[in-house]
Amino acid sequence: MDSPDIWRRQMKLGTFRFSRPHDLVIAQKPKLSVGIVIACRDGQDKLNLVLASLSVQSYPSKLINVYIIDDGSAKPLTIPKIRPKNTKLISYKNSEGKWGKTAATSDVVSQIKSDVLWFIDADMVFEPDHLAHHMKWHHDADDYVVLGWKRFVKDWQYTPEQLVQTLNANGFSDLHKESWGKELWEARVSLTNDLEKPGIDGYRAFVGATFSMKNSQWKNLGGYNRNLVTGEDTELGWRVFVNGLRTVVDRKALSWHLGYSTVEVHKNQIQRHNDPTFAQLIPQMYRIREKSKFDWLVPTYQVFVDARETTLTQILSLREKLLATPGSTAKFVLLAPWAVLNRRYTPVSDLYSDLREIKNWLAQDPQFTLEVIPADQLISIEWILEEFKVGSTPYYIFADANTSINLKELAEYLLESEQGLVGVVDKKDQRAFAVFAPAIARAIKFQGSVYQNISELWGIQWLNDDQFMKLQRGKNTLIKHFFSFLKREGKKINSPRQLLIFLKTLFTLIARELFRRG
């Protein structure tokens, strides 16, 4: 394929990795409609201020509809005089097992037809161009999820009328002389180039106070997880990430958050409540998962293994090395002609003794699934890519069972390389390759070869085993590991609190290493 063809195909497929333009301006002739969703329980006074700030948004009012969801307020909410023209109040009837922000939002949003959904908290004040800055991204492409920029304020004395007057006089920045931001959040955003290079922890920057996405993307993602009472934005952010969507933090989309966040006020209670659910749904939550050896709902790895011509020992060795990191889990699919084991045999002259031993030991283990393939099937990369069940798992791996490659190290190198797929072939022509979730999730959305789509959207790298082992020898140097940790984590220190977190983590890792070594 020559260069012009590659360029045209790239334009059709979309962006490379998480890149985005840096020169977007507010759309001069916007055409996309917006559904603004505010889930609220009590808090009428703050809601009045939210609606007042929405009433002076510069985005065309004819394209805006506001949906206020009253999720069981003690005193029913009302629509104030100062609000956007097309504002609707929806009383969500609570019942057992059907209440709370996630249930109310999911049910109401399922009926909204707007092109874009903008979700906001009911204690926010927005600069007049806030929505317009969100919408410039959605006019550019369909796969953006946009986060606004917010600062927290302790006190406010203005009325809705005074707020509108100040905003109309370009006085947004004058509303509050004292404010604060979330230091860790702002540091994470800055260190990742505003999430253009998010790393695997970039999803933690996803917060629910002001975010927007195309309605179609919300539906494809499945919306909020209805089982979550709090932390729904973090879990949604993880699914946004592994689905290959581009999360953008727009620093020009300014807002004030009125008062402290719930997490700030009740950190310990919220953490105790959220941790077990996060551990079930977000594989990257290693430090929570490592506390218990549960079979978590979403595995860290989905692994297909060619189990023909191998042994139980080799299968178990692959698993042991892959799951060496505390808190990691995997689901294995073992590919082999399992049907041959139904034939009559005698234990002393069993032609399929290795295969039978694998089945007898592993068939009832929930980590393993046995999938039948013909004895002579050629397992192509494209076939495997189409077999993966893409979801919230971050890593998808295939390996010939007799490979000499450590699959955990392969997945780690995949992340370090920033490629979409990394593969290694050893001297016995045994293959192993790992695929990054955002890469395959985006690749399968387009027609054509999944492998070629990954190559053009994310990048592919193949190595021989000598090249891979050389990389591992360098990476596995303890001193290099230590200084990489200091460099990476040290960048996050921007307050006394972050220094304490850093020192606590450092001491924990040292203690764990000493304990492991005895």
Q: How far apart are CA 44 and CA 455, in angstroms?
A: 52
Same structural domain for residues 314 and 459? yes
Q: Would residue 284 count as lying in a domain?
A: no
**112 within 8 A of 105, measured Cβ to Cβ:** no
Q: Would residue 229 count as lying in a domain?
A: yes
Q: Which SS3 state, helix, strand or coil, does residue 98 take? A: strand
Same structural domain for residues 238 and 305? no
Write out the E strands in 155-284. 210-214, 246-258
Q: Which SS3 state, helix, strand or coil, does residue 495 take? A: coil
Rounded to 10 degrees, the C-alpha dihedral 279/285/288/292 comes to 60
Task: State the pLDDT at residue 11.
Answer: 42
Those residues whose C-beta lies under 8 Å from the C-beta of residue 471, and which sit 6 or more positions away, are 413, 463
Task: State the pLDDT at residue 159.
Answer: 97
- Residue 247 pLDDT > 90: yes
**Which H or E run includes 153?**
strand 144-153
Task: State the pLDDT at residue 509.
Answer: 64
Q: Would residue 419 count as lying in a domain?
A: yes
CB-facing half-sphere around the CA of 428: CA atoms within 13 A:
9
Residue labelled with tokens 């050896």: 293
For residue 462, what is the domain's CATH number?
A: 3.90.550
Q: Specify the number of domains making up the chain.
A: 3
pLDDT range class, residue 1, cuts 50, 70, 90 = very low
Same structural domain for residues 405 and 350? yes
**Which H or E run includes 44?**
helix 44-54
**Which H or E run includes 144?**
strand 144-153
Same structural domain for residues 512 and 454? no
For residue 48, what is the domain's CATH number?
A: 3.90.550.10
Those residues whose C-beta lies under 8 Å from the C-beta of residue 397, and which sit 6 or more positions away, are 301, 302, 303, 304, 322, 407, 410, 411, 432, 433, 434, 435
**272 within 8 A of 263, measured Cβ to Cβ:** no
Those residues whose C-beta lies under 8 Å from the C-beta of residue 56, and which sit 6 or more positions away, are 128, 164, 167, 168
Q: Count other Cβ atoms within 10 Å, centred on residue 362.
A: 19
pLDDT range class, residue 227, cuts 50, 70, 90 = confident
183 CB burial (10 A radius; 0-12, 13-18, 19+): middle
Length of the chain as a residue count? 518
Give the residue from 239, 262, 285 where a domain finishes: 262
Same structural domain for residues 103 and 239? yes
Task: State the pLDDT at residue 268.
Answer: 81
Task: State the pLDDT at residue 480.
Answer: 63
Token pair for 263: 């997490």
Q: How far is CA 72 from the centre of its chain?
A: 30
- Residue 336 pLDDT > 70: yes
Q: How far apart are CA 239 and CA 22, in angstroms?
A: 25
Q: How far apart are CA 61 and CA 51, in angstroms?
A: 13
* 330 strand-pairing partners: 301
Distances (CA, A) of 317 to 310, 354, 371, 412: 12, 15, 20, 18
Give the residue from 243, 262, 281 where a domain finishes: 262
pLDDT per residue as tens digits for the range 402-455: 999 999 999 999 999 999 999 999 999 999 999 999 999 999 999 999 999 999
Residue type, 108: V
pLDDT range class, residue 270, cuts 50, 70, 90 = confident
The residue that leads in pLDDT, 291 or 474, is 291
Same structural domain for residues 382 and 462? yes
Same structural domain for residues 62 and 163? yes
Task: State the pLDDT at residue 515.
Answer: 40
Same structural domain for residues 457 and 483? no
Q: Would residue 43 count as lying in a domain?
A: yes
Same structural domain for residues 471 and 482? no
Average pLDDT over residues 142-146: 97
pLDDT range class, residue 263, cuts 50, 70, 90 = low
**304 within 8 A of 397, measured Cβ to Cβ:** yes
Q: Would residue 68 count as lying in a domain?
A: yes
Q: Would residue 129 count as lying in a domain?
A: yes
Those residues whose C-beta lies under 8 Å from the C-beta of residue 374, and which sit 6 or more positions away, are 337
* Strands, sheet with 144-153, edge to edge from the N-terminal-most edge strand: 87-91, 64-70, 34-40, 116-120, 210-214, 144-153, 246-258, 124-126
Q: What is the DSSP letter of 117?
A: E
pLDDT range class, residue 318, cuts 50, 70, 90 = very high
Pick from 32, 245, 5: which is nearest to 132 by CA? 32
Same structural domain for residues 241 and 375? no
Q: How far apart are CA 122 and CA 105, in angstroms?
A: 13
- What DSSP string runs through 378-423? ---HHHHHHHS--SS-SEEEEEETT--S-HHHHHHHHHHHT-SEEE
Average pLDDT over residues 1-23: 64
Same structural domain for residues 207 and 119? yes
Average pLDDT over residues 368-383: 96
Q: Would residue 274 count as lying in a domain?
A: no
Task: State the pLDDT at residue 7.
Answer: 41
Same structural domain for residues 308 and 223? no
Token pair for 250: 């727009």
Q: Would residue 183 count as lying in a domain?
A: yes
pLDDT range class, residue 162, cuts 50, 70, 90 = very high
Domain extent at residue 82: 32-262
